[in-house]
């Protein structure tokens, strides 16, 4: 192995190459001349897995202005028998319009030996289709290969191609049977070619089962109910025996998303994605000290400009006015935990909003309710509290101050000793009671939509911000948790207008930004270039878990899930890869065993997080006395 580069020296004429901090040779070049240079072969081979290549330039930059050098490309190369000089391919060099025997194709053009790789999830009935030819005089050979980390390459098809006056396209159509639902790497390889000729692949494409182009049915009302802290196992159908009849009915009459994932563990960041259709990186609410930037288009503003009624009701302090959530709505109401308002107050107020008689339903309606869900404080009388298990509980938890008590638990160094099994059991009972009340309020909401003659034309979405499963060690509900899958995986039940797709359990990967896109599509309102995927189309087209990677961010940390694989890391440090089906807590790094998948997931993360326009500047939240008091009772 060696390190090569194409360098133009400016203030420097040499650079030391280090691999993982250890010397690996020197690159010598000339000032103001562009040269291709290489180190000698490394004395010892590198182990499989991640490594860091560093360049340390000699010389001195004049006045700190001139760069040491300009590096066009850096190559980690393997010694081979080909003595020809390496040239890094560019997009302009590779992507060409080619016509052979009068038949044009948009083609990928490769020198031999050379290859291009694409990692993807294989769709149902997937097949690879392309046309192969040769540009130039002579002959060449092309191969279509399928690569899976840890397995020998599979040659799908090999083709001999001829150039010159006899050059023509050879159509190739290869089934990918046996790999459906898997993440694989497809390789287009030019294995041999006469000097000066190029192997070309015309319009390569992976085709799957024909998908119907379905769009969400039109709605006159869109209602989004966001609960706080609820994980899927607390709700039907994930736990069918839970005494929550309204949610159980919604699950039967709607679509259940088994792979819905929050984009962050910052509560406000999740709701911000729901109402903007943007990722946390894009809307800049990336921590619990930030707020939604002024001027950011939201569901409330966009739908209001389309002459529909809009409202947002919240009992969660992280979506109060101080964090920028009040802008753009016809009506915005908060229910502070300091007040005696019930945890279901946002849903109850939504019931009144739907039932108002002085508004025409023909204009459309959009409402978002952010309820307390299973988060304290709880609405329990002393008698109801005493009936919960365990009997004769004498711990510090009580319905009103539970949030503050849990925060004190979190602040203690020996929380494991102070957070007892009795505390967990009593808290679990209060959570279940809160969910029963939420279920009743949802029933009232559906009744109000029926009375307003809107139910058949309603898109109803029920989800949670982040999950807060009971932990045997740590108390629940800390804000901005680590990006663990058990916190990011939250419930999503969608009842489409007219009960379309009722009874479906979808494996389609979905995230919070998709809710904004779906809501606006149902109301026939355009959000422009912003937004995620439209959920109805994802379900109707039979999307599989591997057709999309989902990225979650928290500060400089990221966690990307693609199918059952998860890549996690921190900016500036090597990431780790795990397979959740066999290692749900990601205790073993598979990066060394699966380098191709690791690289592809890292690129998916980069592409998803790379700014598509100038990034919005993060703005600080302006906490007032009421917000501070509300967060204190909340437990922060």
Residue 456 confidence (pLDDT): 97
Say how far apart CA 383 and CA 374 lie, in whole Å: 19
Residue 463: half-sphere exposure toward Cβ, Cα within 13 Å: 33
Note down the domain range covering 67. Answer: 2-77
Residue ending a domain, choose from 207, 230, 253:
207
Question: Beta partners for 492?
Answer: 463
For the ranges 220-224, 247-251, 524-528, the lowest mean pLDDT is seen at: 524-528
Instruction: Please report the pLDDT score of residue 399 as a whole number.
Output: 96
Residue 417: the pLDDT is: 54
Dihedral over alpha carbons 131, 136, 139, 144 (to 10 degrees): -30
Within this chain, do residues 182 and 300 fall inside the same structural domain, yes or no? no
Strand 331-334 with 309-314, pairing: parallel
Q: What is the pLDDT of residue 213?
A: 67
CATH of the domain at 100: 2.60.120.260
**β-pair partners for 313:** 333, 369
Answer yes or no: are the C-beta atoms of 580 and 546 closer than 8 Å. Answer: no
Residue 580 covered by a domain? no
Domain shared by 128 and 196, yes or no: yes
> Are residues 530 and 413 located together in one domain of the fold?
yes
Pairwise CA distance, residues 35 & 29, whole Å = 6
CB atoms within 10 A of CB 383: 7
| 448 Cβ contact list (under 8 Å, min separation 6) | 351, 354, 355
Claim to verify: residue 315 and residue 416 sit in the same structural domain: yes
pLDDT at 39: 94
What's the token pair of residue 188?
Answer: 């287009």
Going from the C-alpha of 195 to that of each of 134, 135, 199, 200, 217, the distances in angstroms are: 12, 11, 11, 15, 58
In the predicted structure, residue 81 carries a pLDDT above the cut 80: no
pLDDT confidence of residue 372: 97
Poorest-pLDDT segment among 36-50, 261-275, 429-443, 505-519: 36-50
370 lies in the same domain as 250: yes
Q: Is residue 632 part of a domain?
A: no
Residue 333 lies in a domain: yes
pLDDT of residue 360: 56
Give a yes or no: residue 68 inside a domain.
Answer: yes
Q: Is residue 603 part of a domain?
A: no
Comparing 469 with 226, the larger pLDDT belongs to: 226
Average pLDDT score, the chain: 92
Residue 542 in this model has a pLDDT that exceeds 90: no
Overall average pLDDT of the 347-359 stretch: 88
- Mean pLDDT (whole number) for 535-545: 91
Res 358 pLDDT > 80: no
Assigned domain for 215 exists? no
The per-residue pLDDT for 150 is: 86
Domain match, 384 and 296 both: yes
pLDDT tops 90 at residue 210 = no
- According to DSSP, residue 321 is labeled G
Query: If pLDDT is split at 50, 70 and 90, which confidence band does 362 have?
Result: low
Copy the structure tokens of residue 407.
Answer: 């925060």
Taking the CA atoms of residue 79, residue 82, residue 83 and residue 87 in that order, the dihedral angle to the nearest 10 degrees is: -90
Cβ atoms of residues 260 and 226 within 8 Å:
no
Q: In what helix (H) or strand (E) does residue 402 lie, and over which residues does it extend?
A: helix 402-411
User: Average pLDDT in the 593-616 region?
Assistant: 86
Q: Which of the 8 DSSP states describes residue 486?
A: H
230 close to 467: Cβ distance less than 8 angstroms: yes
Distance CA 52, CA 20 (A): 5
pTM of structure: 0.91
Cβ atoms of 510 and 534 within 8 Å: the answer is no
d(CA 182, CA 337): 47
pLDDT tens digits along 586-596 = 999 999 899 99
Residues 123 and 51 occupy one common structural domain: no
Q: Residue 611 domain-assigned?
A: no
Same domain, 68 and 37: yes
Contact 232, 238 (CB under 8 A): yes
Q: What is the pLDDT of residue 474?
A: 75
Query: Any idea what DSSP says for residue 123?
Result: P
φ, ψ of residue 585 in degrees (nearest 5): -100, 10
pLDDT at 609: 80
Whether the predicted pLDDT of 615 surpasses 80 = no
Same domain membership, residue 284 and residue 202: no
User: Is residue 555 in some structural domain?
Assistant: no
Mapped onto helix, strand or coil, the DSSP state of residue 226 is strand
Q: What's the pLDDT score for residue 86?
A: 76
**Residues 166, 42 within the same domain:** no
Q: Are 299 and 519 in contact (CB under 8 A)?
A: yes
Q: What is the pLDDT of residues 126-156, one digit of tens each?
A: 999 999 999 999 999 999 999 999 889 999 9
What was the pLDDT predicted at 527?
Answer: 64
Decide which of 548, 573, 606 is a domain's last residue: 548
pLDDT of 528: 65
Q: Are residues 50 and 12 in the same domain?
A: yes
Domain count, the chain: 3
Distance of alpha carbon 88 from alpha carbon 7, whole angstroms: 12
Residue where a domain terminates, one of 509, 531, 548:
548
Whose CA is closest to 539, among 484, 483, 496? 496
Position 568 pLDDT exceeds 90: yes
Amino acid 574: pLDDT: 87
Q: How far apart are CA 496 and CA 596, in angstroms?
A: 39
Please report the pLDDT score of residue 83 as a whole number. Answer: 59
**What is the arithmetic mean of pLDDT over 249-267?**
97
The pLDDT of residue 88 is 83
DSSP annotation of 524 reads: T
pLDDT digits (tens, 9 = 90+) for 397-453: 999 999 999 998 888 765 455 788 899 999 999 999 999 999 999 999 999 999 999
User: Looking at residues 258-262, what average pLDDT do you find?
Assistant: 97
Please tell me the predicted confidence (pLDDT) of residue 47: 84
Is 392 found in the same domain as 294? yes
Other beta carbons within 10 angstroms of residue 340's beta carbon come to: 11
Percentage of the chain exceeding pLDDT 90: 77
């Amino acid at each position: 192995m060696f390190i090569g580069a194409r360098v133009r020296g400016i203030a420097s004429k040499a650079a030391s190459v280090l691999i993982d901090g250890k010397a690996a040779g020197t690159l010598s070049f000339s000032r103001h001349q562009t040269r291709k240079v290489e180190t000698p072969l490394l004395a010892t081979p590198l182990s499989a897995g991640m490594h860091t290549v560093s360049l340390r330039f000699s010389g001195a930059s004049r006045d700190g202005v001139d760069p040491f050098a300009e590096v066009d490309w850096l190559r980690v190369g393997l010694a081979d028998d080909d003595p020809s000089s390496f040239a890094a391919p560019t997009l302009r060099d590779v992507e060409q319009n080619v016509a052979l025997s009068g038949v044009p194709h948009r083609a990928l053009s490769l020198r031999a030996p050379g290859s291009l790789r694409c990692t993807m999830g294989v769709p149902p009935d997937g097949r690879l289709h392309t046309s192969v030819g040769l540009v130039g005089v002579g002959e060449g050979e092309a191969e279509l290969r399928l690569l899976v980390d840890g397995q020998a390459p599979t040659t799908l098809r090999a083709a001999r191609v001829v150039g010159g006056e006899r050059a023509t396209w050879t159509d190739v159509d290869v089934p990918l049977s046996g790999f459906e639902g898997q993440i694989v790497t497809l390789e287009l390889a030019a294995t041999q070619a006469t000097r000066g000729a190029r192997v070309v692949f015309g319009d390569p494409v992976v085709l799957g089962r024909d998908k119907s182009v379905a769009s969400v049915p039109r709605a006159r009302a869109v209602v989004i109910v966001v609960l706080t802290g609820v994980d899927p196992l607390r709700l039907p159908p994930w736990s069918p025996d839970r005494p929550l009849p309204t949610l159980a009915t919604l699950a039967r009459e709607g679509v259940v998303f088994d792979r819905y994932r929050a984009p962050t563990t910052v509560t406000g960041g999740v709701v911000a994605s729901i109402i903007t259709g943007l990722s946390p990186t894009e809307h800049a609410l990336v921590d619990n000290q930030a707020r939604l930037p002024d001027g950011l288009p939201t569901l409330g503003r966009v739908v209001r400009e389309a002459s529909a009624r809009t409202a947002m009701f919240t009992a969660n302090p992280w979506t109060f006015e101080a964090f920028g959530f009040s802008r753009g709505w016809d009506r915005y109401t908060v229910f502070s935990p300091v007040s005696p308002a019930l945890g279901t107050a946002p849903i109850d107020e939504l019931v009144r909003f739907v039932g108002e008689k002085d508004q025409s339903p023909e204009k459309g309606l959009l409402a978002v309710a952010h309820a307390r869900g299973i988060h304290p404080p709880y609405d329990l009388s002393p008698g109801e509290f005493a009936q919960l298990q365990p009997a004769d509980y004498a711990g510090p938890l009580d319905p009103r101050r539970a949030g503050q008590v849990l925060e004190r638990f979190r602040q203690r160094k020996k929380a494991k000793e102070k957070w007892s099994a009795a505390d967990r059991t009593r808290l679990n009972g209060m959570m279940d009671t809160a969910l029963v009340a939420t279920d009743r309020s949802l029933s009232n909401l559906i009744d109000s939509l029926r009375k307003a003659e809107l139910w058949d034309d309603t898109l109803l979405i029920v989800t949670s911000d982040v999950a807060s499963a009971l932990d045997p060690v740590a108390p629940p509900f800390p804000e901005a948790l680590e990006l663990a899958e058990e916190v990011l995986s939250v419930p999503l039940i969608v009842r489409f207008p007219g009960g379309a797709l009722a009874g479906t359990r979808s494996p389609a990967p979905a995230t919070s930004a998709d809710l904004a896109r779906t809501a606006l599509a149902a109301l026939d309102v355009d959000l422009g270039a912003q937004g995620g995927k439209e959920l109805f189309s994802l379900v109707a087209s039979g999307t599989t878990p591997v057709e999309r990677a989902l990225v979650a961010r928290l500060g400089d940390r990221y966690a990307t899930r693609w199918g059952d694989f998860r890549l996690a890391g921190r900016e500036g440090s090597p990431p780790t890869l795990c397979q959740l089906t066999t290692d749900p807590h990601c205790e073993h790094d598979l990066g060394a065993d699966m380098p191709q998948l690791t690289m592809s997931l890292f690129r998916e993360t980069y592409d998803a997080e790379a700014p598509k326009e100038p990034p919005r500047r993060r703005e600080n939240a302006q906490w007032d006395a009421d917000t501070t008091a509300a967060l204190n009772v909340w437990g922060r």
